Structure 1
């Protein structure tokens, strides 16, 4: 598993030697600024251009059609939601100026005066209603719709006020509205005029940056002078695709870009040792998971004991120690510490137990003839390929034949499917329930991979309905227990993001935990 990373580190070292970037900068002693891609303007604290090298660019930029790990990095800079979760974890207004509960199922939200979209048109209650009606009508892939499972209707009260009517009381509804993975407000007139398909590559929002160039290789954002909030530091941001890690690192070293993402673990020290560069990291609210096809009765994966064996055969700590650095970890169950009082600290999670796994394999009746397929997109998840190949070896140790199969399509019909679980908001409803509960892709009656048990559904509904903390904690524990016992899938590790960055950029990475790249005022400052 280390061979690829060592090769990357070697390539980077060669680049450093050839470019001279690994040597002391003769300009540094005389106070000269090292060469960098970011062009600092005459105005103190500003950049003309910030260049960012990404492993992948999104294929579309309509935030209400779908949200993934590539698109979420850009959405926060272009669009706004009504509410937002601030850096301390509290719900605050973003587009919303105020909000008030009229009763348990009725919420009025008033948006800020004077907000405009990036084409200059005012943002009103009509745009908010249009956005949510679009989602509730079934538009998109359901990524956002499932977040608003309790929402019934949205009605206009006046030009700046909308009313949300819920199907039932929902203790987490403000958290849903405050999710960066939630409903970004889009302009009714503009979308209606150009159509949904055109909007995917020519989006307009109310955020601090507007898209001015779109191509498969590069997206260019330009600061929107009419933005309702404080102006960000960079006048322009170029997001440039470098699919290969070695190409991203070379671009950083040679000054083509200022920031890169997905720095391989074994290349961290090499970049950090380069003058003018450093590596910064963050754990992210994303657990890499595998889904299991429990419905195909012709496959051994339909056997619960066999699925349990698969989960116990995976040495998660070795995967973390080998593939990641300081920020990744093995979680104790499909949950995040950011859940606060709903984080079940004493839950043990799945334990690595190859001896027990062998017993369960025997109990399942598996005869060693069937080859289990682990399906994944080649290189889509950081370290996903390496983890898959390692897990094939771990399964072999307990008598299970498995193989990795790479595909460009996503399907839950495979024996095992590589996926990820991002926490949409800090509550078990925002990850485990959202990803495996009713209405989710795995629970789809026709194309899904499992049927949620009554106990799982009841626990999720308790989390929605109840305001009693002890009842909520008991329900949260039940979700974890059912997932790890029935095994519609399993978790591998809570992942991390490593970024290479040039000196002179002071980047607050708090929001990076949500997998976004935040470049608003207060997120990025130019320090030199």
Structure 2
């Protein structure tokens, strides 16, 4: 086992030195995360810490009912209509203010989707934008209240794209005054229920925005604190240092609930727990090795041992929330160690060590999962170098990577934003399959539901035949919480504090 050093790159902005002061009053909600976002521009930071903080800083033109059936809902646009298969017109909500007091304008919306922000390959925001917004050709102001969004192709999911990560609306004036991405990411200006007070390696502090168009939040101050170790998060919750802690595994529920003032909330979320392959690794170039590693994993044993059966083993890269694209008859993943050994022999595997990187606090019982999976792999003769890293930058550092832990979050209920977003052409240096990419183009350009279903089915087949990763189970996200905090998690990796309150 090796440990990558703490001297790896901190992130885009380095270590900010903004002063932090936490208000110690009844209006402050304190949330402990395993890792904090390094900056606060959604086009620069797309991980769970970003999802959990920035949902409360920004709004999108449209949103979905995350707590309910996932239906489209108005947000910064009060209404919208389809003009044709490639065009939507949206009417902006009146009276919306940015955190600096300036009014939301059509120019701000157009700028938020501008080439310099997201569509120029040289832009720092290009990579994130391509995952959700790649089909958008233009965003224009028809008049002061009307926005026209045009797609490059007939786009069945154009409305959904306007709810997705990266489509948050920002202040053009604030972005330009900050000198661009780096300055804006340190102290951004959005229209959400909370504005940014400070950002540091130890905490992100937000305050309620009194003029929020959706109504001022009940919480005055929202503080996200850094607490990488699970034991420290649980101890801090018990000591009343935190009000909510994230990512409590099932085997630690009792450690929380033995205190009568505390409870566990949460459940399965729209996210798949994945072990991801980097096919630049010489051993993993051979799909037979990757299929063997998948066949060697007893997924249900992991779910039963570490999650008390509270999460599911999906049948393919899909979720029930996909509606017409969900196939409940798709076969379950096989556990077949003997077949795994046969594939390894056929591939000429000869005991080469494969690196496997994890962060111990990132995805529930991380270390325990890795230890179980490594044991299963060793039983079929595979040698593993387990590398424990401290942050996402170290996880992704190349060369040296072979496999890594990860998730495929489904932030919008369509396979475009699950399977395709996670493995489209932007990931081709890590894994590439031209048939998959061609089918993905069809999935995002056809308005024929049956044609899209056929493309998605074949893409799932390719995922299993030439695997970019191993699906372990759906993610369960469980939180420890003080009973006096009125907050209900949603079945998503997002944390929404718009309606939260303190007793």
User: Contact 2:303 / 2:309 at 8 angstroms: preserved in 1?
Assistant: no
Structure-to-structure mapping, 1:14-29, within 5 angstroms: none
| Residue 91 of structure 2 corresponds to residue 94 of structure 1 | no
Query: Matched residues in 1 for 2:113 and 2:237: separation?
Result: 40
Deviations 1:94-119 (A, max 9, x none): 10112122222122222111111000
| Residue 162 of structure 2 corresponds to residue 166 of structure 1 | no
Query: Matched residues in 1 for 2:130 and 2:224: separation?
Result: 28
| Residue 229 of structure 2 corresponds to residue 229 of structure 1 | no
| Residue 56 of structure 2 corresponds to residue 77 of structure 1 | yes
- 1:384: how far off? 2.8
Query: Matched residues in 1 for 2:166 and 2:323: separation?
Result: 21
| Residue 382 of structure 2 corresponds to residue 400 of structure 1 | yes
- 1:452: how far off? 1.9
Residue 516 of structure 1: aligned partner: 494
Query: Matched residues in 1 for 2:455 and 2:267: separation?
Result: 29
Deviations 1:278-311 (A, max 9, x none): 1112212221212223355xx2322222221111
User: Contact 1:392 / 1:403 at 8 angstroms: preserved in 2?
Assistant: no
Task: Say which of 469, 472, 480 aligns to 1:489.
Answer: 469
Query: Matched residues in 1 for 2:325 and 2:303: separation?
Result: 25
Give the number of the structure whose alpha-carbon radius of gyration is greater: 1
- 1:451: how far off? 1.9
Query: Matched residues in 1 for 2:369 and 2:414: separation?
Result: 27
Residue 410 of structure 1: aligned partner: 396
Deviations 1:426-464 (A, max 9, x none): 1111111111122x22x1xxxx1222232x234323322
Query: Matched residues in 1 for 2:45 and 2:235: separation?
Result: 32
Query: Matched residues in 2 for 1:474 and 1:105: separation?
Result: 22
Residue 25 of structure 1: aligned partner: none
Structure-to-structure mapping, 1:327-346, within 5 angstroms: 327-346=310-329
User: Contact 1:344 / 1:476 at 8 angstroms: preserved in 2?
Assistant: no
Task: Say which of 504, 511, 525 aligns to 2:484.
Answer: 504
Query: Matched residues in 2 for 1:150 and 1:327: separation?
Result: 37
Residue 182 of structure 2: SS of its match in structure 1? helix
Query: Matched residues in 2 for 1:274 and 1:378: separation?
Result: 25
| Residue 449 of structure 2 corresponds to residue 469 of structure 1 | yes
User: Contact 1:66 / 1:144 at 8 angstroms: preserved in 2?
Assistant: no
Query: Matched residues in 1 for 2:242 and 2:287: separation?
Result: 49
- 1:418: how far off? 2.4
User: Contact 1:92 / 1:178 at 8 angstroms: preserved in 2?
Assistant: no
Query: Matched residues in 1 for 2:359 and 2:25: separation?
Result: 36
Residue 6 of structure 2: aligned partner: none
Residue 430 of structure 2: aligned partner: 449
Residue 9 of structure 2: aligned partner: none
TM-score (norm 1): 0.85
Change (3 A) 1:284 1:120: same
Query: Matched residues in 2 for 1:461 and 1:497: separation?
Result: 32
| Residue 171 of structure 2 corresponds to residue 187 of structure 1 | yes
Residue 459 of structure 1: aligned partner: 439
Deviations 1:35-65 (A, max 9, x none): xx9854xxxxxxx221222222111111122
Task: Say which of 262, 267, 285 aligns to 1:282.
Answer: 267
User: Contact 2:34 / 2:362 at 8 angstroms: preserved in 1?
Assistant: no
Residue 4 of structure 2: aligned partner: none
- 1:385: how far off? 2.8
Residue 182 of structure 2: aligned partner: 197
Structure-to-structure mapping, 1:360-375, within 5 angstroms: 360-368=343-351, 370-375=352-357
Residue 3 of structure 1: aligned partner: none
| Residue 85 of structure 2 corresponds to residue 104 of structure 1 | yes
- 1:268: how far off? 0.5
Residue 19 of structure 2: aligned partner: none
Task: Say which of 405, 414, 434 aligns to 2:421.
Answer: 434
Change (3 A) 1:233 1:347: same
User: Contact 1:349 / 1:484 at 8 angstroms: preserved in 2?
Assistant: no
| Residue 94 of structure 2 corresponds to residue 116 of structure 1 | no
Query: Matched residues in 2 for 1:240 and 1:367: separation?
Result: 46
CA RMSD, 1 decimal: 2.0
Change (3 A) 1:429 1:113: same
Residue 151 of structure 1: aligned partner: 136
Residue 310 of structure 1: aligned partner: 293
Task: Say which of 214, 223, 228 aligns to 1:238.
Answer: 223
Task: Say which of 112, 119, 125 aligns to 1:131.
Answer: 112
Residue 21 of structure 1: aligned partner: none
- 1:275: how far off? 1.4
Query: Matched residues in 2 for 1:486 and 1:239: separation?
Result: 40
Query: Matched residues in 1 for 2:480 and 2:359: separation?
Result: 25
Query: Matched residues in 1 for 2:455 and 2:263: separation?
Result: 43
Task: Say which of 367, 387, 395 aligns to 1:385.
Answer: 367
Change (3 A) 1:213 1:367: closer
| Residue 232 of structure 2 corresponds to residue 247 of structure 1 | yes
- Unaligned ranges ≥5, structure 2: 1-22
- 1:375: how far off? 2.6
Change (3 A) 1:128 1:287: same
Residue 71 of structure 1: SS of its match in structure 2? helix
Query: Matched residues in 1 for 2:354 and 2:227: separation?
Result: 33
